[in-house]
């Protein structure tokens, strides 16, 4: 309803009410008058009529004025604003002189002016930004054109945003790619999705910060028809918030391949021309010897010498050729360092999508060197075939570090796979990508082979040796950090632990949770708090890497730089993370009925114990300390820091001074210790606890002395 109509209705109502009031008054008075008072009645009627007319007139005039001075200008203001907003930003509101809107029209005009100014500013800014963006894009395009590598930039929907002509050349595309088209029109999908998945999880877990390749990963890409295999790298593009918005693909020029071709040419020449002479000498000598049986002994021995020395020469030459040849066929294949945990995660995820096959990751993760995508395919197919053949649905995946290789072992309940079956499976091809590479070729590229062995207890495994990682060991700085001081607390560790039946069980048959905490400092009772806690489960002598617990905890206090130096967790890291009251009950649930194990356990346990009441949980299970057990086993030395003990047992530590890294290292150490403990006659939980307690007493005495 417009203001004018509203005003008319109001005033019409007012007029009607006044008329009714006057008529009702006149009627009441006249009906109350005594009969015969006709004169008086006439007076009242006339008077009433007069008042009614006057009232109606006053109301009409009032309406007329308000309509003119308020309602009409108000409508004009509304129309004016509409014009500004929808039609002409430069329009100004026009209202007559005689209105009662006060400063409203002027204020609205001011507003309109400001709005228009702001709009102009924004438009200018946008225009300028667009221009500079266009410039930058052009510069980028020029730079891209000059690159000897193919470059394609995509968003996360895999639409192509930018590319250079080298990319077209390498993909053998005539004409244009066309922006916004899907990358998968030109390149095989799986390797790209796989690589993107690897990078995304690296970023999601914050590992890109200290990963040697940062936001980049190498992979083997291919054109859609599989004819062109490309040595490719992917780099994620992050926005300022750290969220991925797209990626850059670069594929290498062929220099490496050309170099390999050159080498191959030389080898072929050596193999053909270079071998002619010795073969000629050999066959001549053999023919002469055969044709002249009556030759005298000294001459015979000369010819025999020729045969012997030439065949030795040929053997050596062959050895050299085959070594070079192996380098050629495998050297060009792009590979990167892969963390076995990530590789297995991909395998597990794919299998879960395909079929009801469970993967249990066990053992300590290792770094290895290979092409992640083809390895995932290989393992995936092998596991499906084994499952088909043996009916097994649960597989253990473990990476073991050997002298020359990292072994990837797939273990299951059931018989081993006959060598002939394995050989047949390896003829399978990766159909969708990479030019129909066969599984055998994937093995060849990794310079390896695969075989199956029966283990004890009706179990069997597939063993796949893979190259060790090329990356250097962890930065030296971390190793220079001093170990946490040993921590003793009689109340905690040396108390009689009532273990009941569990205490008599063999160490190997017990379920453990090996855990570690990172803290703001070394004084649990002086206000220091946990900032991270992690645990990993050991069941039946296997470390279940897939079932680990890892949480950052908000300590609700500032984190001192002195402790950040160790664990790298800052105030920023813990923001939005749950407090200990949330995390500790989760950890308690994770532990379940397991026995706790930690290195320098009293320290970590103290932090748990101090929070028990507050968090409504209790940690009353038996606790083993790998530091004390180390002191028991290796009493000839006083060095029992985690790094030293891990080194002593040949355990490689990844992610030292992260709660999970340290927990995994302690778990590896603990498993090795069980063997040695058994050899020393310590085979049950009670015996292991007693051995540890004895160490607490001696060491506390030493410390007290």
Partner 1 sequence: MAKSILVVEDEPNIVLSLQFLMKKAGFEVRVARDGEEALAAVEERAPDLMLLDVMIPKRDGYDVCQTVRANPAWAGIYIIMLTAKGREVDREKGIALGANDYVTKPFSTRDLTEKVKQLLDHPA
Considering the complex, state which of residue 418 and residue 527 has its C-beta at the smaller distance from partner 1.
418
Under rule CB under 8 A, residue 418 binds partner 1: yes
Considering the complex, state which of residue 297 and residue 420 has its C-beta at the smaller distance from partner 1.
420
Considering the complex, state which of residue 447 and residue 654 has its C-beta at the smaller distance from partner 1.
447
Distance CA 322, CA 320 (A): 6
| SS3 state at 453 | strand
CA distances to 255, 392, 431, 437 from 466, rounded to whole Å, are 26, 24, 23, 18
Under rule CB under 8 A, residue 463 binds partner 1: yes
Distance CA 304, CA 667 (A): 63
Q: What is the C-alpha R_g of the chain?
A: 43
Number of H helices, E strands in the chain: 21, 17
Distance CA 540, CA 590 (A): 17
Phi-psi region of 111 (alpha: psi -120 to 50; beta: other; left: phi over 0): alpha
Q: Which stretch binds partner 1 (CB under 8 A): 97-105, 416-424, 494-502, 578-586?
A: 416-424
Cβ of residue 465: shortest distance to partner 1, in angstroms?
A: 5
Name the one residue in this structure whose structure tokens are 């100004």.
Answer: 92
The residue count for binding partner 1 (CB under 8 A) is: 21
Cβ of residue 413: shortest distance to partner 1, in angstroms?
A: 18
Cβ of residue 447: shortest distance to partner 1, in angstroms?
A: 7
Under rule CB under 8 A, residue 449 binds partner 1: yes
Under rule CB under 8 A, residue 451 binds partner 1: yes
Distance CA 207, CA 75 (A): 63
Q: Which of residues 225-264 bind partner 1 (CB under 8 A)?
A: none
Contact residue for partner 1 among 401, 447, 648, 672 (CB under 8 A)? 447
Contact residue for partner 1 among 48, 73, 80, 465 (CB under 8 A)? 465
Cβ of residue 440: shortest distance to partner 1, in angstroms?
A: 13
DSSP 215: T
Considering the complex, state which of residue 133 and residue 318 has its C-beta at the smaller distance from partner 1.
318
Selection from 484, 586, 489, 538 nearest residue 685 by Cα: 538
Query: What HEC string does 56-67 produce?
Result: HHHHHHHHHHHH
| SS3 state at 513 | strand
Cβ of residue 580: shortest distance to partner 1, in angstroms?
A: 49
Cβ of residue 390: shortest distance to partner 1, in angstroms?
A: 15
Under rule CB under 8 A, residue 453 binds partner 1: yes
Contact residue for partner 1 among 185, 301, 423, 637 (CB under 8 A)? 423
Cβ of residue 315: shortest distance to partner 1, in angstroms?
A: 4
DSSP run (H or E) holding 537: strand 530-539
Considering the complex, state which of residue 451 and residue 490 has its C-beta at the smaller distance from partner 1.
451
Q: Which of residues 572-591 bind partner 1 (CB under 8 A)?
A: none
Distance CA 668, CA 649 (A): 9
Considering the complex, state which of residue 318 and residue 589 has its C-beta at the smaller distance from partner 1.
318
Considering the complex, state which of residue 246 and residue 465 has its C-beta at the smaller distance from partner 1.
465
Helix axes 340-354, 372-390, angle to 10 degrees: 50
Please tell me which residue in 99, 346, 446, 657 is annotated as part of the active site: 657
Under rule CB under 8 A, residue 279 binds partner 1: no
Under rule CB under 8 A, residue 427 binds partner 1: no
CB of 548 closer than 8 Å to CB of 536: yes
Residue 662 structure tokens: 């340290």
Under rule CB under 8 A, residue 276 binds partner 1: no
Q: Which stretch binds partner 1 (CB under 8 A): 77-85, 175-183, 266-274, 413-421?
A: 413-421
Q: Which of residues 286-325 bind partner 1 (CB under 8 A)?
A: 311, 314-315, 318-319, 322
The answer to whether residue 211 is catalytic is no
The backbone torsions φ and ψ at residue 595, rounded to the nearest 5 degrees and listed phi first, read: -85, 135
Cβ of residue 702: shortest distance to partner 1, in angstroms?
A: 47
**CB-count exposure of residue 659 (10 Å: 0-12, 13-18, 19+):** buried
Contact residue for partner 1 among 420, 472, 703, 705 (CB under 8 A)? 420
CB of 399 closer than 8 Å to CB of 464: no
Cβ of residue 404: shortest distance to partner 1, in angstroms?
A: 6
Q: Which of residues 323-362 bind partner 1 (CB under 8 A)?
A: 326
DSSP 506: B
Under rule CB under 8 A, residue 370 binds partner 1: no
* DSSP class per residue in 276-331: HHHHHHHHHHHHHHHH-TT--HHHHHHHHHHHHHHHHHHHHHHHHHHHHHHHHHHH
Cβ of residue 566: shortest distance to partner 1, in angstroms?
A: 40
Under rule CB under 8 A, residue 404 binds partner 1: yes
Q: Which stretch binds partner 1 (CB under 8 A): 221-229, 234-242, 418-426, 528-536?
A: 418-426
Cβ of residue 408: shortest distance to partner 1, in angstroms?
A: 13
Considering the complex, state which of residue 276 and residue 404 has its C-beta at the smaller distance from partner 1.
404
Under rule CB under 8 A, residue 448 binds partner 1: yes
Name the one residue in this structure whose structure tokens are 């075989």.
Answer: 451
Q: Which stretch binds partner 1 (CB under 8 A): 20-28, 390-398, 449-457, 520-528?
A: 449-457
CB of 536 closer than 8 Å to CB of 553: no
Considering the complex, state which of residue 453 and residue 562 has its C-beta at the smaller distance from partner 1.
453
Considering the complex, state which of residue 180 and residue 449 has its C-beta at the smaller distance from partner 1.
449
User: How far from chain centre, in Å, is Cα 407?
Assistant: 25
Maximum pairwise Cα distance, the chain: 184
First vs last C-alpha separation in the chain: 96
DSSP run (H or E) holding 179: none
CB of 507 closer than 8 Å to CB of 674: yes
* DSSP class per residue in 368-397: EEE-HHHHHHHHHHHHHHHHHHH---EEEE
Cβ of residue 319: shortest distance to partner 1, in angstroms?
A: 7
**CB-count exposure of residue 505 (10 Å: 0-12, 13-18, 19+):** middle
Under rule CB under 8 A, residue 87 binds partner 1: no
| SS3 state at 4 | helix
CB of 411 closer than 8 Å to CB of 382: no
Considering the complex, state which of residue 274 and residue 568 has its C-beta at the smaller distance from partner 1.
274
Considering the complex, state which of residue 207 and residue 459 has its C-beta at the smaller distance from partner 1.
459
**Interface ranges with partner 1 (CB under 8 A):** 311, 314-315, 318-319, 322, 326, 404-405, 416, 418-420, 423, 447-449, 451, 453, 463, 465
Report, as residue numbers or ranges, the catalytic residues. Answer: 657
């Amino acid at each position: 309803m417009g203001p004018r109509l509203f005003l008319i209705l109001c005033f019409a109502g007012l007029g009607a009410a006044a008329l009714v009031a006057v008529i009702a008054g006149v009627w009441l008075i006249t009906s109350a008058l005594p009969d015969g008072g006709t004169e008086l009645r006439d007076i009242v009627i006339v008077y009433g009529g007069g008042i009614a007319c006057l009232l109606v007139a006053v109301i009409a005039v009032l309406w007329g004025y308000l309509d003119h001075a308020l309602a009409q200008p108000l409508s004009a203001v509304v129309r004016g604003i509409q014009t500004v907003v929808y039609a002409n930003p430069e329009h100004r509101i026009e209202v007559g002189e005689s209105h009662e809107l006060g400063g409203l029209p002027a204020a609205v005009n001011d507003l309109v002016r400001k709005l228009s100014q702001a709009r102009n500013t924004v438009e200018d800014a946008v225009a300028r930004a667009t221009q500079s963006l266009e410039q930058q894009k052009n510069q980028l395009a020029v730079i891209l054109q000059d690159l000897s590598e193919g470059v394609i930039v995509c968003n996360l929907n895999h639409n192509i945003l930018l590319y250079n002509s080298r990319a077209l050349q390498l993909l053998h595309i005539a004409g244009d790619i066309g922006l916004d088209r899907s990358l998968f029109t030109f390149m095989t999908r799986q390797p790209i999705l796989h690589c993107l998945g690897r990078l995304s999880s690296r970023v999601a877990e914050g590992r890109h910060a200290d990963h040697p390749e940062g936001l980049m990963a190498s992979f083997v890409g291919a054109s859609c028809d599989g004819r062109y295999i490309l040595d490719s790298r992917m780099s994620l593009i992050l926005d300022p918030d750290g969220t991925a918005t797209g990626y850059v693909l670069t594929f290498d020029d062929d220099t490496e391949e050309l170099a390999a071709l050159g080498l191959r040419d030389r080898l072929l020449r050596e193999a053909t021309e270079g071998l002619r002479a010795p073969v000629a000498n050999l066959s001549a000598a053999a023919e002469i010897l055969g044709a002249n049986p009556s030759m005298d002994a000294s001459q015979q021995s000369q010819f025999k010498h020729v045969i012997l020395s030439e065949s030795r020469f040929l053997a050596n030459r062959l050895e050299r050729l085959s070594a070079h040849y192996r380098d050629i066929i495998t050297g060009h294949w792009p590979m990167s360092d892969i963390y076995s945990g990530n590789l297995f995660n991909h395998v597990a995820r794919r299998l879960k999508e395909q079929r009801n096959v469970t993967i249990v990751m066990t053992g300590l993760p290792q770094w290895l060197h290979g092409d992640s995508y083809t390895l995932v395919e290989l393992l995936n197919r092998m596991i499906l075939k084994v499952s088909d053949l043996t009916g097994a649905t649960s597989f253990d995946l473990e990476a073991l570090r050997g002298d020359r290789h990292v072994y990837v072992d797939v273990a299951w309940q059931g018989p081993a796979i006959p060598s002939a079956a394995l050989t047949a499976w390896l003829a399978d091809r990766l159909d969708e990508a990479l030019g129909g590479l066969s599984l055998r070729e994937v093995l060849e590229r990794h310079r390896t082979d695969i075989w199956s062995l029966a283990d004890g207890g009706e179990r069997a495994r597939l063993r796949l040796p893979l190259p060790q990682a090329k990356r250097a060991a962890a930065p030296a700085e971390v190793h220079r950090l001093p170990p946490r001081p040993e921590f003793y607390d009689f109340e905690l560790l040396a108390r009689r632990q009532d273990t009941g039946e569990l205490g008599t069980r063999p160490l190997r048959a017990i379920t453990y949770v090996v855990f570690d905490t990172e803290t703001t400092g070394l004084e649990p009772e002086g206000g220091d708090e946990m900032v991270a806690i992690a645990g990993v489960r050991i069941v039946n002598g296997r470390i279940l890497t897939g079932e680990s617990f890892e949480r950052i905890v908000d300590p609700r206090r500032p984190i001192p730089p002195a402790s950040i130096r160790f664990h790298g967790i800052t105030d920023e890291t813990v923001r939005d993370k749950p407090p200990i009251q949330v995390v500790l009950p989760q950890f308690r649930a994770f532990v379940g009925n397991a026995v706790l194990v930690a290195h320098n356990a009293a320290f970590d346990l103290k932090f748990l114990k101090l929070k028990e009441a507050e968090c409504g949980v209790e940690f009353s299970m038996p606790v083993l300390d790998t530091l004390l057990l180390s002191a028991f086993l290796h009493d000839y030395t006083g060095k029992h820091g985690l790094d030293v003990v891990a080194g002593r047992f040949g355990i490689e530590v990844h992610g030292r001074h992260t709660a999970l890294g340290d927990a995994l290292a302690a778990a590896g150490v603990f498993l090795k210790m069980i063997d040695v403990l058994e050899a020393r006659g310590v085979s049950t939980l009670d015996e292991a606890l007693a051995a540890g307690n004895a160490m607490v007493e001696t060491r506390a005495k030493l410390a007290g002395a």
